[in-house]
Structure 1
């Protein structure tokens, strides 16, 4: 059977959305606090701002992660979009060729907040690249499985944000 999914070079994306019964300001306070993210993720273990940086375009933070198939690693992320109450995005590793781009978007909706989390894999190399190098014939399946993992983890993250914001 031939796999017909995306390749890493296609820069595949995934997005998860939820509605939160809280103001955008309340949701933003949670989304923009990267120190809360490890509590919402099975993979992300810790986050620390570099040199006292804070959320702003150009700010950097180091994230330490763990995955049973990939082991442990850390990456430096660069804030590339920061519009309080609306958008928070960062590029992982290299600004010119990030291994991933992550973005939260918020907008007022029905007396609450529409919240989305989006990510793009690649185009820069990541830990997944080593698995693809070792099994190039399985690239599309490897990418598909990883994107589904991201989608599931993002849904869990948004559920945590929703619970915190609504409590």
Structure 2
């Protein structure tokens, strides 16, 4: 981890394919979001680098900027089925910011070790000067992994 990247890990009692199905689905992003900003999504599950879908956002839940409701385009930057998915955001802000969110999945004896990451090391210099990153906290990433676990894990397996 660095000053420009957050990574959190959690073992989830589900296989990588089950977890990946949620992560490649636009509605899955909305379902597991802990920030409260993702309101809905439009688009099909992604299948490759370069695929895109739209997320309908509401920044009000963070209470940090009066942006109201707006849309962003999620553009896939890494895609390896059942192993890794990452994306950048193309939104209303210009220049394009350049931050990346993603998940790595590693099979384990107890299910899948899921690493969630948020990286702003390659953001546009204009955004770096504004010193507004990270927008999402380490705790929010951990909470999203908790929601992901609740969404996919076998309810019969004790914690």
In which range does the TM-score fall when normalised by the shorter chain?
0.7 to 0.9
Given the two structures, how large is their TM-score scaled by the length of structure 2?
0.74
| 1:85 partnered with 2:82 | yes
Pick closer, same or farther for the CA change 1:61–1:125 going to 2, 3 Å. farther
- In the aligned structure 2, how far is the partner of 1:38 from the partner of 1:125? 29
| 1:69 partnered with 2:67 | no
Given the two structures, how large is their TM-score scaled by the length of structure 1?
0.71
Match of 1:165 in 2: 152
Give the superposition deviation at 1:98: 4.5
Give the superposition deviation at 1:18: 0.3
Q: Which has the higher helix share?
A: 1
2:22 corresponds to which of 23, 26, 30: 30
CA contact (8 A) 1:38 1:47 kept: yes
| 1:60 partnered with 2:47 | no
Match of 1:13 in 2: 5
Q: After alignment, is 101-110 or 34-43 more displaced? A: 34-43
Give the superposition deviation at 1:87: 0.6
Unaligned regions of 5+ residues in structure 1, if any? 7-11, 133-138
Task: Indicate the structure whose relative CO is greater, using CA pairs within 8 Å and at least 6 residues apart.
Answer: 1
Give the superposition deviation at 1:60: 0.8
The two structures, once aligned, show a CA RMSD in angstroms of: 2.8
Match of 2:133 in 1: 143
Match of 1:136 in 2: none
Aligned residues: 141
CA contact (8 A) 2:100 2:118 kept: yes
